[in-house]
Structure 1
Amino acid sequence: MRTKNGDSKLMLLTYLLCMALFVNLAILKDPIDKGAIYMGLMICILITVAKVLMKKFYPNGDRFLFIFSCILAVIGIAVLYRLDTSVAVKQLIWVTAGIIIYMVIILSIPDIREFGKYKWIFMGATLVLMPLALAFGSKVNGSTNWILIGGTGFQPSEFGKIALVLYLATALQNYEDKNNVIEDFKQLWEPALVVMFSIGCMVLQKDLGSALIFFGIAVTMLYVGTGKKKYVIISLVLFLAGAFIAYKLFGHVRERVQIWRDPWSDTTGQGYQIVEGMYAISSGGLFGSGLGKGYPGFVPVNTSDFIFSVICEELGIIIGLGVMIIYFLMFYRGMRSAFIIKDRFSQLNTVGFSAMIACQVLVIIGGVFAVIPLTGITLPLISYGGSSVITMFFSLAILQKISEED
């Protein structure tokens, strides 16, 4: 009963947050922007329909995972509306498509455990998606990770993350600890090669953010799948060796590292993004300058890579921390299922998709604060990006289905 009441209260707070943000955006203009209010109402209706369907057909699954994702999407669309109305409309379309995919997966797939036997299909999908942008991609913001078709584009690596998690779950579900190096090698050499191939493709595409995410997913699943710390240490050593080699061979890697080490040495050039992002965060202070009262136009790539800086500038560090807490709660709700369910394939999927969300958040926010080199990826469900939104809702749907298992 307490969980059910908490679910209802959180839904009410989500509606209040949504309407507060969009009413605020509406009154910023003279005359009042009715379009902002209509958009807020559309989002509330969309969330309500999805939540009602979930409660009707699958009442026993996780009650909070979907709501957390909706809160993030609401914040994202509202901030995008403040930055560029046309981008916010596109984002709403992508979020709607993502929620539809979410619902289709939940309502149509009877049991995720049945997919544990399709290892070769997931492996093939991974091997095809990873180098796809190298063959047919176009360079956008320095990385060759987009395939443009007409006026739209998509990132194959976003869908490759899903394929990799599903493949590793199938490859590691039957792992047995035989206390024998040769036997372990026979069980792990294939997934190790697939992971190295995937990371290598990302490095060649200059998509360092995705390379870090793939590594984080792989190491997390490897540790959970085998329970051996030595494989994590070996993976870290190999990753550091690969990073050193990449630093020596590729100029773009050296450039990113140099900017990270001292962005203030070139504030009008290569360090401009990080410096302006930091100025925006610091100018907002604890409570922000107010929605619509900041200067996000100075922040580069403010609808995707640096949208967190805009949130902190206008809504304050306190809201920025709140966003990070919601991501942590999503990670917690995902990982929580791994301690309850008994099926090995489902456990590994839970760990993989939860790690994917956590790694993506840590990589982009770490880059914005210059804790790690800037990598240029999207903030899940908040930044503008169709591929990212679809991938995230697909992953959350898998976590939701797993939470329903006995």
Structure 2
Amino acid sequence: MKMRSDEKKLLIITYIFCMALFTKLAILKNPIDKTALTMGIVLCIIIGISHFVIRRFYPDGDKFLLIFACILSIVGIAMIYRINPEEANKQVIWFILGIIVCLITVLLLPDMDKLSKYKYVYLGATLVSMPLALIFGTEVYGAINWIYIGGFGFQPSEFGKIALTIYLASALKDYDNEKKGFAHIKQLIEPAAVVTFSLGCLVMQKDLGSALIFFGVAISILYVATSKKKYVVTCLGLFSIGAVIAYKLFWHVRQRVMIWRDPWTYASGDGYQIVEGLYSISSGGMMGAGLGEGYPGFVPVTTSDYIFAAICEEFGMVFGIGILILMFLLFYRGIRAAFVTENKFSQIAAVGLSTMIACQALVIIAGIFALIPLTGITLPFVSYGGSSILTTFFALGILQKISEEG
């Protein structure tokens, strides 16, 4: 009963927060922007319906997963509307489609034990999706990771990381620690080859951010499945060697590292985005300039890669820390789903998908603060982008399904 009460309280807070944000956006204009108010109301209705469906038809699962994701999405849509109302309208559509994908995933996915038997389907999906951008892709901001068909663009790696995660869970669910010699190593040869192939494709595409995420997911799954630290240390060593080779081979990688080491020297050129992002965050201070009072337009690609900098400028670092806490809570609830099920496939998949979301958030935020070289990836649920929204909500649907098992 207490859990149900906490859900209701959090939902009410979410509705109030949503309407407060979009009411503020509405009164920024004269006359009042009715589109912003309508958008806030529509988002509240969509969130209410989605929570009702999950609560009514799937009462045993974790309801906080969807609520946390919706709060993050509200912040993102509000910030995107502040910067570019046209993109915000599209983002609302992607959000609604993402919610539908999440609900359909929970509704149509069979029992997770049955799902674990399609290892080679996931393997095929991984092997097909990963090289697609190399064959048909277009270079955007130095990386060849987008495919455009007409006016529609998508990133195959967004779908590939889901396929790889589910494949690794299926391949390693029967890992046997008791085997000795070559029989022991044989269990890891195929998964290792698939991960190496995926990382190789991403390096060739110069998509360093996705490569970090893929590696983080793979190493987390490896440790959960085998419980052997020596494998983790070996993988870290091999990844370090691969990073050095990539640095030597590709100018794009050397350029990113060079800018990261001293962005101020390149502030008027290639380091402009990092420097403007840091200025944006510092100008907001701890409490922010206020919604509508900042200058997020000075930072390139603000609605996507650098939306966290825009949020910190207008809402402040305290609010930015709140975003990080929500990401951590989402990660915690995903990991919690792994503990409440006895199905090994579900456990590994839950850890992999949760790590995928958390790792993606950490990589882009660390890049914005110049803690690591900047990588052009989205902040889950917050940044503008259809591929990211759909795949992340699909992952959320799988986590929801796994939580139902417990």
Q: Fold-level match, TM-score > 0.5?
A: yes
Match of 1:231?
A: 231
Match of residue 212 from structure 2: 212
Distance of 1:215 and 1:105 partners within structure 2: 26
How far apart, CA to CA, are the structure 2 residues paired with 1:23 and 1:117? 49
1:330 aligns with 2:330: yes
Aligned equivalents of 1:340, 1:41: Cα separation in 2: 35
Amino acid at match of 2:357: I
C-alpha displacement of 1:183: 1.9
Tell whether the 8 Å contact from 1:125 to 1:160 is kept in structure 2 after alignment: yes
Counterpart CA distance in 1 for 2:138 and 2:284 is 36
Could you tell me how far 1:106 is from its partner in structure 2? 1.2
Deviation of 1:339 (Å):
1.6
Query: Contact 2:102–2:394 (CA<8 Å) still a contact in 1?
Result: yes
| 2:88 aligned partner, one-letter code | A
Alignment of 1:183-194 (within 5 A): 183-194=183-194
Residues 168 and 191 in structure 1, CA contact (< 8 A), matched pair in contact too: yes
Q: 1:176 aligned to 2:182?
A: no
Q: Is the 8 A contact 1:112 1:398 kept in 2?
A: no
Instruction: Give the partner amino acid of 2:222.
Output: L
Deviation of the 1:189 alpha carbon: 0.5
Q: Distance in 1 between matches of 2:240 and 2:187?
A: 24
| Distance across 2 between alignment mates of 1:237 and 1:222 | 15
- RMSD of aligned C-alpha atoms? 0.8
Which residue matches 2:385?
Answer: 385
Aligned partner letter, 1:324: L
* One-letter amino acid matched to 1:160: G
**Structure 2 contact 102–393 (Cα < 8 Å) conserved:** yes
Deviation at 1:179, TM superposition (A): 5.6
Identity within the alignment, %: 60
Query: How many pairs align?
Result: 406
Is 2:130 the partner of 1:130? yes
CA–CA separation in structure 2 for the residues paired with 1:276 and 1:297:
10
Match of 2:7 in 1: 7
Please state if 1:195 is matched with 2:195: yes
2:33 aligned residue: 33
What's 2:112 paired with? 112
* Alignment partners' CA distance in 1, 2:248 and 2:37: 53
- Residue 68 of structure 1 corresponds to which residue in structure 2? 68
- 1:288-332 CA-partner distances (Å, limit 9, x unpaired): 000000011111110100000000000110110000000000000
Aligned to 2:268: 268
What corresponds to 2:98 in structure 1?
A: 98
- Matched residues in 2 for 1:250 and 1:42: separation? 46
Asked if 1:54 corresponds to 2:58, the answer is no
**Cα separation, 2, equivalents of 1:206 and 1:403:** 36
Query: SS where residue 146 of structure 1 aligns?
Result: strand
- Cα deviation, 1:353-377, whole Å, max 9, x if unaligned, reads 0010111001000000011110110
Does residue 1:291 correspond to 2:291, yes or no? yes
Secondary structure, in 3 states, of the residue corresponding to 1:325? Answer: helix
Q: Give 1:382 shift.
A: 0.6
AA paired with 1:280?
S
2 CA distance for matches of 1:110 and 1:210? 29
Question: In structure 2, how many angstroms separate the alpha carbons of the residues matched to 1:110 and 1:168?
Answer: 19
**C-alpha displacement of 1:108:** 2.3
Distance 1:200 1:356 in 2: 18
Gaps in structure 2 of 5+ consecutive residues: none
- Give the CA deviation at 1:140: 1.2
Preserved contact between residue 54 and residue 63 of structure 2 (Cα < 8 Å): no
Q: Which residue of 1 aligns with 2:82?
A: 82
Letter in 1 for 2:279: Y
* Letter aligned with residue 177 of structure 1: N
CA positional deviation for 1:395: 0.2
